[in-house]
Structure 1
Amino acid sequence: MIETVIVVLHLLVAIGLVGLVLMQQGKGAETGASFGSGASGTVFGSQGSGTFLSRVTAILATTFFLTSLGLAYYASHKASAVQEAGLPDPALQVEQVAPAPVLSEDVPVIEEDVTPVPAGEDVPPAAE
C-alpha cells in the first residue's frame, strides 16, 4: 500500500519537475531585464520568476530524490524477504520455451522449379 503511494507521488513529482524546467527561461532572457526594459512592473518583480521557479524546482527535485530512495529501500527489503522465505528470485527465473516443431520425414517438402538462365540473357522479374 505504502509502495503504491510512493510510486504515485514519484510520478506526479517527475511530471511537475519536467513542467517547471520547461517553463523556466534561459540565461539569455535576463539581459533585457537588466537594462530596464519594463520588467519591473511584472508580477514577480524585476528579477522575474526565476527565484520562485528555482525554489519550487529545488523542492520538487529533492522530493524526487527522496521518493527514489524510498522506492529503492522498499525494493531491497522485498528482495531480502523473498530470499529469507526461500523462494526463487523472480529476476533470475528463466522462461520455459517450447521446442520448435520438427518436421517428420512423412511430410512432403515442396520444392520450387528453378530453371537457370543462360548467360547473356536478361533475367525476368520475380513473380509476386
Structure 2
Amino acid sequence: MYTALVVIQVVVSIALIVFVLLQQGKGADAGAAFGAGASGTVFGSRGSANFFSRATAVCAVLFMSISLALAYLVEDAARSSGGSLADEIEESAPADTQEQPAAPAKEETPSAPAIPE
C-alpha cells in the first residue's frame, strides 16, 4: 500500500507541476482583448483558465490527501515497531568507546646521497 501511494504521489506531483506551468498569466487576458489570437486556442478564450485552474485544484487536493495518508502510515508503522526512526538510528550506531588508532610516526626523509667528486 505504501509503495502504491508513493507512486501515485509522484505522478500527481508531476501533473501538478505541469498544470501550474501551463497556466496563462494574468496579463495574457489583456492580449486576447486586443486581438492577440488567444481566442482561437484549443480551449477557447476563457476555457483554458477554467480547465487548468480546476485541474490544478484537483491535483493539489490529491497531493495533500496522499501526503496525509503517507504520514499516517509512517507514524502507524513507527508506533507498531515500538519507537521512532531516530531511536533506531541511535541504537544501531557504533559506540564511541573504541580506541582510536595512534597516528603514524612522522618519518624522516632520507638525505640525498653524497655526490662523489
TM-score exceeds 0.5: yes
TM-score per shorter chain, which class?
Answer: 0.7 to 0.9
Moved over 4 A (4+): none
| Structure ranking higher in helix proportion | 2
The 1-side partners of 2:64 and 2:99 are apart by 45
Runs of at least 5 residues in structure 2 that lack an aligned partner in the other structure:
110-117
Q: In structure 2, do the counterparts of structure 1 residues 19 and 110 end up closer, same or farther at CA, with 3 Å as the change threshold?
A: same
TM normalised by structure 1 equals 0.69
Percent identical residues = 43
State which of 92, 104, 109 in structure 1 corresponds to 2:106.
109
Q: For this pair of structures, how many residues does the alignment match?
A: 105
Matches within 5 A, 1:13-32: 13-32=12-31
Give secondary structure in 1 for the equivalent of 2:27. Answer: helix
Q: In structure 2, do the counterparts of structure 1 residues 60 and 110 end up closer, same or farther at CA, with 3 Å as the change threshold?
A: same
Matches within 5 A, 1:76-95: 76-83=75-82, 89-92=84-87, 93-94=89-90, 95=93
TM normalised by structure 2 equals 0.75
Give the structure 1 partner of residue 74 of structure 2: 75
Over aligned residue pairs, what C-alpha RMSD do you find?
2.3
